[in-house]
């Protein structure tokens, strides 16, 4: 429906309106998180030189399935033709990004692959993603409430505000990995592959 013109501001505005109608049905605390992430997304878009409207569209829709139950996510995934892997069955929450991307493509009329990829991989990041997806990823992670709950995110926010999205994404994955190891949780393989793809490790601050 948006062939050839899917990145035009008017088209994106329309898509954001469609996504916002769905967001308005989500729990208040989730809506508030989405709002905070969108605010940070605008700041980071200017810093990283990416299209703030496309970032805003991705952030508006990134958590559409965040409040769904495990059963609902597994059932929706199966209905959408996703065969849940062992990790998805163990942590169905990992499906909330992929399901949101499917909703945005099918119901939201979004054809912009970078926006859909950013939504799909906003939890773990993934190899091969660029600055738009990184902006979405980082805005979701360094919104003020999350930084308050996890003080180590301040270092990630500082790196992001310094303008190097690769450094900031690597630092996030590295520090989350350390946190998960302390908790005895296996880090997600996509995050590990993304970390390797982004290059050199960050020297711990
Ligand atoms: Fe999320
Ligand atoms: Fe989020």
Residues 65-110: pLDDT tens digits? 999 999 999 999 999 998 888 888 988 999 999 999 999 999 999 9
Closest by alpha carbon to 123, among 29, 34, 177, 188? Answer: 188
**Which ligand is located closest to the Cα atom of residue 100?**
1
Task: Report the separation in Å between the CA atom of 33 and the middle of ligand 1, taken as the mean of its atom positions.
Answer: 10
Query: What pLDDT sits at residue 200?
Result: 60
Ligand 1 centre from 204 Cα, in Å? 26
Ligand positioned closest to the Cα atom of 30: 2
From the CA of 146, the nearest ligand is: 2
Enter the CATH code of domain 9-149. 1.10.3210.10
DSSP 3-state assignment of 126? Answer: coil
Tell me if 180 sits within 8 A of 152, measured CB to CB: no
CA distances from residue 118 to 25, 55, 113, 128 in whole angstroms, order as listed: 22, 9, 8, 11
Q: What is the structure's pLDDT at 160?
A: 98
Q: Which of 170, 157, 173, 172 is nearest to 199 (CA)?
A: 170
Domain ranges of the chain: 9-149
Chain position carrying tokens 């308005």: 24
Considering every ligand atom shown, identify the ligand nearest to the alpha carbon of residue 96 and give its number: 1
- pLDDT tens digits, residue range 154-163? 999 999 999 9
Return the closest-CA partner of residue 58 out of 6, 131, 132, 2: 132
């Amino acid at each position: 429906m948006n062939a050839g013109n899917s990145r035009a501001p008017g088209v994106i505005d329309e898509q954001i309106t469609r996504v916002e109608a769905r967001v308005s049905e989500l729990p208040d605390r989730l809506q508030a998180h989405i709002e905070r992430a969108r605010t940070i997304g605008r700041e980071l878009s200017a810093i990283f030189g990416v299209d703030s409207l496309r970032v805003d569209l991705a952030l508006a829709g990134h958590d559409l399935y965040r409040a769904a139950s495990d059963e609902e996510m597994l059932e929706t995934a199966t209905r959408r033709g996703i065969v849940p892997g062992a990790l998805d069955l163990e942590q169905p929450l990992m499906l909330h990004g992929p399901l949101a991307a499917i909703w945005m493509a099918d119901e939201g009329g979004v054809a912009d692959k970078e926006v859909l990829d950013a939504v799909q991989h906003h939890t773990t990041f993934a190899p091969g993603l660029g600055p738009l997806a990184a902006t979405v990823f980082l805005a979701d992670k360094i919104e003020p409430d999350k930084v308050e709950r996890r003080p180590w995110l301040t270092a990630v926010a500082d790196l992001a505000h310094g303008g190097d999205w690769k450094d900031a994404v690597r630092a996030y994955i590295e520090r989350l990995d350390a946190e998960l190891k302390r908790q005895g949780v296996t880090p997600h393989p996509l995050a590990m592959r993304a970390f390797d793809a982004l290059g050199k490790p960050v020297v711990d601050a």
